[in-house]
Every structure is written in structure tokens, then in C-alpha cells.
Chains A and B, each alone.
Chain A
Amino acid sequence: MIDIAPPAFIFILGAILLPLLRERRLRQVFQLLIPLIAFIDLLYMPKGTYWVYNFLGYDLILGRVDKLSMCFGYVFVIVAFVGMVYALHVREVGQHTAAFLYIGSALGVTFAGDIFTLYVFWEIMAVSSVFLIWYQRDKAALDAGFRYIMVHIFGGCALLAGIIIHVSNTGSTNFGFIEYGGLASQLILLGFIINAAVPPFHAWLSDAYPEATVTGSVFLTAFTTKSAVYVLLRTFPGVEILVWLGAIMAVYGVAYAVLENDIRRLLAYHIISQVGYMVAGVGLGTEMSMNGSTAHAFCHILYKALLFMGAGAVIYVTGRRKLTDLQGRNLYKKMPITLSLYMIGGFSISAVPLFNGFISKTMVIAASAELERPVIYLLLHLASIGTFLHTGLKLPYGIWFGRVPEGEKVEEEEIEAKEPPLNMLIAMGMASFLCILTGVYPEILYNLLPYPVHFHPYTLNHVVGMTQLLLLTGAAFWLYIDKLGGEPKISVDTDWFYRKPGVLLLWFVSNPMQDLRLRLQSFFTRMVTNVASLSKNPILLPEITVRYFHLKIMNRLYQASGTYKDKADELKGLESRIAAAKEMRYDENVYRRPIGLGVLIAIIFLLVYGLIYFIRLR
């Protein structure tokens, strides 16, 4: 028995206790203390399987600790600490509580040893993360958050259905390698790739992340997609379809990023692109590719958090989030530190040598070369070019140096921009330090990877090759700079398929369907009223029926003969007799018969039976 607690519980406990702390300073200390305690907890967690609890005959495993889960565990806790430093100035306790729950559930997924535990934390992750979007408190955020949770609920349902079929087929709840093929594995894979934002199920990410709060989006970039990569690494290594999906999404992300005017949406598309490398690495299924995916997830979490922190700092200071609103402001003069720190993230994601993207991205690309997959190799290369083109060049140029196109003027007055609060800069500094540290000294990361590493990124060939690729891309950028500026437009993505038909569905439900509902409701209400009225005295039912048909027949006859008006009084009389009959309540003294009704029915039944018997006998 070990004395330490599951890291997920440390964060979940933190989420419960945080709102109870009244003193702001104390709360800030607590926000930083929780990730620190979790980090120490990770250091003392031995390899193996523990925290096993029996529930309804199934083993729920909260601690399956090996190199793969530890690598993700470490980076999750590190980014949790960095993110909390970045969010220290935020006074809204709810945001931090949601973040703690989100981080805790992501760690729960990471260390889950069975698929039921995985599923429970998977769902908590979806529900807690949506609050980081909703806390932005504007209509766009509320709508985007609603779409976000709907997509994740759909993914969660697919996952649950897959899990149930898998467990009933195999009897095993073990969260490990799943043979791809058959409905169960396909549903589980669908659940996972929705969270990994694999096209065409990716639009939730680029839709929702840019609408989140400035600090919340930093957490969002780290956990959902990367925990999905982690579960893919566990369950579906070597599945061919993932190679193609990954390579296509790597290019898809960069192709769409170029259209974007919203700075965080542009970065969100690059998450899709970068996760593409990881998914492709999972699909390639070799030790090098799996190491590459893990390493890239680790590095990506750090540099993407840094990029979102940089973009978030600009939004926080200027209140503007679009390139077209930021051009012509010369922000590089007002926010040089933010620019420098952002550029470290930009260089990292672009795989510039000495930055961490270089040591992880090249590993996945090298794995595709090792397996002699030229198309995959070229697609991943193309995505690298696009990444540098947009995140390394277009975005920083647009934000900090952007010029107003000829013929247009900056209409508004000068923005009062300055560097963001110190805690934001410190957080960005920490992420930058880690990006460079792991880039310069990759052994730190390589020692955490699940398989032994036989890859040397710093060969002359790799370094010169990547440098040439980036420099020539940069030269092309300056030549085509006019075509790469932002435009005040939005790009339509696969979310069109549920956003536009969604409006039609809403109209259909609130108009024709609502009308049908009202008609049905009124019909059944009338029926119930009539049955209730008749049930007051069922013995009069034959009489009322006869009188009713009598009325109808007389009505028709008088109408046909043209004496309807003359006989109106007589018809009214008939109507009132029916109404009076309906009002008459059952009174046993009125309907008393010489024999009881039950006996009468029994005698009739015996008579009929006797007659049939007699006829048959003859």
C-alpha cells in the first residue's frame, strides 16, 4: 500500500477547497501549491498498477503508472502550474475551479487502468472544460460552448457504446491495446478522434477555443487533444487509417489557418495541424513514431500554451483579437517582451533548431522516412512549411508589425498598449525556458519517452535541411506578404454541417412540429374530456350514443328537406337532452335491477355458451 494520492484527486480536491478560501493571497498561493503537490506526488509514484477498487464486479484502476502515462502526467502538471501562474490575476474563483477539475480529470484519464475509469474522467473533462469557455460571458462564447459540449457529448456517447460492446464481447475492461476492426473498436476510435479533433470532427476546436477566456484557453490547448493522443497511443498503435488522417489533418490545419483573421482561431487551427503529427505517429506504430508522438505532445503542450499566452496577452491588453484590428498599431514598440516570448513559441512550433519542436517533429517525420512512406513524409513537410508561414511569420508580423493596406486608414485612435501583468510574463518566461531547455538538451525529454530513443536530431543534415526549409519559406513569405494579410471575414468549416442545418432544425421544431404538438394535444385533451364525461355514468352510454346518432340523422334530414330553421328548437331540445344525459351521474338506487349486473352477464354468457354447445352437439 502506498501513502500518496492519485494526482487526479489532488486537483479535484483543490477544486473543492478553492472556493472556500476567502483571502485572495491565500487563494493565489493555493492555486500554485496544488500543481506543486501533484508534481511531487508524480515523483514518488512508483511504476506499476495500484489504487484498484472493486465496483459491481469490475476493477476500477486509478493508478496504471508506466513511462507513457508518466510522460503525459509530468507535462500536464507542468502546464497546469504555468497556466495557474498566467491566471493568477483572475479574480473569478469559478474559472480556477473549472480549470482544476479539468486538469484533474485529464490526469485521471492519463493514469486510468480500465476503460470505465477512463470514461468517467473523460466525461468530467468535457463538462469542466466548457466552463472555461462560458466564463467569457458573451453570446459568442455561450453559443460556441454549447456547440462544444454537444459535440463532446456525442463523442462520449460513441465511446460509451463502444466500451459496452467491447466489454460484453471480450469480458475485459482493461484499458490497453484494442484490435481495430468491428463495431466496438470503431466506436471507441470515433470517441477518441473526436477529442483529438481529427477532421471532419475537428470544427469544435477552432470554433470554441478562441471564444474561451484569455487564461482558460491556455488550459484548453493542453489537455483535451493531448489526452486523446495519449489514449490513441495506448489503444490503437499501428492502425493505418490514423496515418492518413494524421497527415491530412496536419495539412488541413495549416491550410485553414491562413484564412483566419482571429489570432487565437489561427493558433487553434495549428493545434489541429500539430496533433496531426501525433496521430500520424500513432498510426505508423513503430517505436520511433510512438516516441515521436509522445515527444511532440510534450513539446506541443509547452509551446502552444506559450503561443496562446502571447496571443492572450495581446487580447488582454488591447481588447482586440483580430489581425485587421491590430494592424498599423506598431505593437512591437509597446510590447517587446511579449513579442520576444511569443517568438520563442513561434520558433518552437516551426521546428527551428535549438527549440523543442525541432527535436520532436523531426522524430515523427524521420519515422515516416524510416518506413519509406513518401506521401506521408511530404505531407508532414508541407505542414511544417505552413506552420512557420503562419505561426512563425504571418501571425507575429500581423500582430506586432502589421501595416494598414494601402488606401485604408486606421480609423480609431491609438491603442494604449503596454506589457501585460507580471504574472503573465513570468508564465510565458517559464514556458519559453522549457521550450529552449528541451530543445537544447533533448535528453531530458528523451529519458521520459516510452521506448529507448535512437534518434539524433542535431546532425548536420537535419539542422541544415530544416534551416533551409524555414529560410526559403520565410523568403517566400516576404514576397507574398500582401496575399497573407488578414481579412475581416470568417472561414466556413465542417461546423457548417451542424450550424446551418441546426438553424433549420430549430425552425422546423419551433414551427411545424410545435403546431403538430398543439393539434395532437388538443385532440387528446378533447378525447380525455369526453371519456371522463362518459365515465361518470357508463350505463347511459348506449342511450347517449343512440341520442347522438338520432340528433345527427335528424339534423341531416331537416337540412336536406330545407326545414332546418323551423326545426331548430326541436334539434336544440335533442342537444340539451344529450347534455343532460351526460351530466347525469351514476346512482345505484336509480339503476337498481332485480338481479346484479355481474349475475346478468354471467347468465348471458352461460346462455350463449349453452347455445353454441347445443349447436355444435347437433
Chain B
Amino acid sequence: MRKMLKWLFILLAVLSIPVGFFIKHEHAVFFWDKIPSIEAIFGVIGAFLLILATAILTSFAQKKEDFYD
């Protein structure tokens, strides 16, 4: 089940990237709107940034469960 979910996600993610090349942004506002599949790039960068933020936060904000006791 877990492996199936994992590969399903990765497969769909990979398949979704070429689709972006066929879609035209109707109301491009920012410069990045014209880059094909930019949302996919956002997804990867965003997830990476958040995992990085976790590592930073963990270093000073995570304490033992009895910290306030």
C-alpha cells in the first residue's frame, strides 16, 4: 500500500510536468507565469524550503516534552 502510493505520486508528478507545456497562462501577471510548468518548480522548491525551515526550527524550538513542567 505504502509503496503503491509512493510510486503513484511520483508517476503522476512526472506525468504532470509535460502537461504544463501545452497550457497557456491567460492572465500572466508575474514574469514567472510565462515559464511552462512553473507550479511544478514551485512545488519542489517550496517543499525543499519548508524541510529546510524544519531543520532550522528544530535546532532551537524543539524541546523535551516536560520542558514546561
Contact A255 B43 (CB under 8 A): no
Q: Contacting A489 at CB < 8 Å: which of B29, B54, B65? A: B65
The answer for the CA separation of A384 and B14 in the assembled complex, in Å, is 20
The answer for the CA separation of A56 and B62 in the assembled complex, in Å, is 53
Q: Which chain B residue has the least Cβ–Cβ distance from A260?
A: B62
Contacts A468-B39, A475-B10: A489 and B46 contacting too (C-beta < 8 A)?
no
Q: Which chain B residue has the least Cβ–Cβ distance from A472?
A: B43
Min Cβ gap B52→A in Å is: 10
Contacts A254-B50, A259-B57: A472 and B26 contacting too (C-beta < 8 A)?
no
Interface centre among B38, B41, B50, B61 (most CB of A within 10 A): B50
Residues in A neighbouring B51, C-beta threshold 8 A:
258, 476, 480, 483-484
Is A370 engaged at the interface, CB distance under 8 Å to the other chain?
yes
Is A537 engaged at the interface, CB distance under 8 Å to the other chain?
no
Q: Which chain A residue has the least Cβ–Cβ distance from B49?
A: A382
Q: Contacting B30 at CB < 8 Å: which of A369, A460, A500? A: A369
Interface centre among B20, B29, B39 (most CB of A within 10 A): B39
Dominant secondary structure at the A interface: helix
Is A459 engaged at the interface, CB distance under 8 Å to the other chain?
yes
Contacts A369-B30, A476-B47, A478-B6: A468 and B61 contacting too (C-beta < 8 A)?
no
Quick one: CB contact mask for A378-396 with B, threshold 8 Å, 1 for yes?
0001101110010000000
Contact A258 B50 (CB under 8 A): yes
Residues in A neighbouring B43, C-beta threshold 8 A:
385, 468-473, 475-476
Is A542 engaged at the interface, CB distance under 8 Å to the other chain?
no
Q: Contacting B62 at CB < 8 Å: which of A369, A385, A487? A: A487
Residues of A in contact with B, size category: 35 or more
Quick one: CB contact mask for B35-69 with A, threshold 8 Å, 1 for yes?
00111111110111111011101101111110110
Contact segment of A87-95, A104-112, A491-499, A561-569: A491-499
Residues in B neighbouring A473, C-beta threshold 8 A:
43-44, 46-47
Contact A377 B2 (CB under 8 A): no
Contact B13 A472 (CB under 8 A): yes
Residues in B neighbouring A468, C-beta threshold 8 A:
13, 16-17, 19-20, 37, 39-40, 43
Interface centre among B1, B42, B63 (most CB of A within 10 A): B42
Min Cβ gap B15→A in Å is: 8
Interface centre among B47, B60, B64 (most CB of A within 10 A): B47
Residues in A neighbouring B19, C-beta threshold 8 A:
464, 468
Contact A471 B42 (CB under 8 A): no
Min Cβ gap B18→A in Å is: 10
Residues in B neighbouring A258, C-beta threshold 8 A:
50-51, 53-54, 57
Is A267 engaged at the interface, CB distance under 8 Å to the other chain?
no
Residues in A neighbouring B42, C-beta threshold 8 A:
381, 385, 469, 472
Q: Contacting B29 at CB < 8 Å: which of A255, A369, A500? A: A369
Is A201 engaged at the interface, CB distance under 8 Å to the other chain?
no
Size of chain B's interface in residues, with CB distance under 8 A?
Answer: 47
Is A466 engaged at the interface, CB distance under 8 Å to the other chain?
yes
The answer for the CA separation of A491 and B1 in the assembled complex, in Å, is 32
Is A532 engaged at the interface, CB distance under 8 Å to the other chain?
no
Residues in A neighbouring B41, C-beta threshold 8 A:
472
Contact A389 B39 (CB under 8 A): no
Min Cβ gap A377→B in Å is: 7
Residues in A neighbouring B30, C-beta threshold 8 A:
369, 372, 374, 377
Is A316 engaged at the interface, CB distance under 8 Å to the other chain?
no
Contacts A259-B58, A480-B51: A471 and B46 contacting too (C-beta < 8 A)?
no
The answer for the CA separation of A295 and B28 in the assembled complex, in Å, is 24
Q: Which chain A residue has the least Cβ–Cβ distance from B43?
A: A472
Contact A489 B64 (CB under 8 A): yes
Is A490 engaged at the interface, CB distance under 8 Å to the other chain?
yes
Quick one: CB contact mask for A440-483 with B, threshold 8 Å, 1 for yes?
00000000000000000001110011111111111111101001
Q: Contacting B65 at CB < 8 Å: which of A401, A476, A480, A490? A: A490
Residues in B neighbouring A499, C-beta threshold 8 A:
68
Residues in A neighbouring B65, C-beta threshold 8 A:
488-490
Residues in B neighbouring A381, C-beta threshold 8 A:
42, 46
Q: Contacting A472 at CB < 8 Å: which of B2, B44, B62, B64? A: B44
Min Cβ gap B3→A in Å is: 10
Residues in A neighbouring B27, C-beta threshold 8 A:
369
Q: Contacting A461 at CB < 8 Å: which of B23, B49, B62, B63? A: B23
Is A433 engaged at the interface, CB distance under 8 Å to the other chain?
no
Q: Contacting A491 at CB < 8 Å: which of B25, B53, B57? A: B57
CB-defined A-B contacts under 8 Å, sample of 26:
A255-B54, A256-B61, A258-B53, A259-B58, A370-B29, A372-B30, A381-B46, A386-B46, A461-B23, A464-B19, A465-B38, A468-B37, A468-B39, A468-B40, A470-B43, A471-B43, A472-B13, A474-B12, A475-B14, A477-B47, A478-B5, A484-B54, A487-B62, A489-B65, A491-B61, A493-B61
Hey, which bits of chain A sit against chain B, CB under 8 A? Answer: 254-256, 258-259, 332, 369-370, 372, 374, 377, 381-382, 384-386, 389, 401, 403, 459-461, 464-478, 480, 483-484, 487-493, 499-500
Hey, which bits of chain B sit against chain A, CB under 8 A? Answer: 1-2, 5-6, 9-10, 12-14, 16-17, 19-20, 23-27, 29-30, 37-44, 46-51, 53-55, 57-58, 60-65, 67-68
Beyond A469-B43, A492-B60, A499-B68: 15 further Cβ-contacts under 8 Å? A384-B46, A385-B42, A403-B2, A466-B39, A468-B40, A471-B13, A471-B43, A472-B40, A473-B47, A474-B12, A476-B48, A478-B9, A483-B51, A490-B63, A491-B63
8 shortest interchain CB distances as A-B pairs: A472-B43, A385-B46, A476-B47, A475-B13, A465-B39, A471-B13, A468-B40, A468-B39
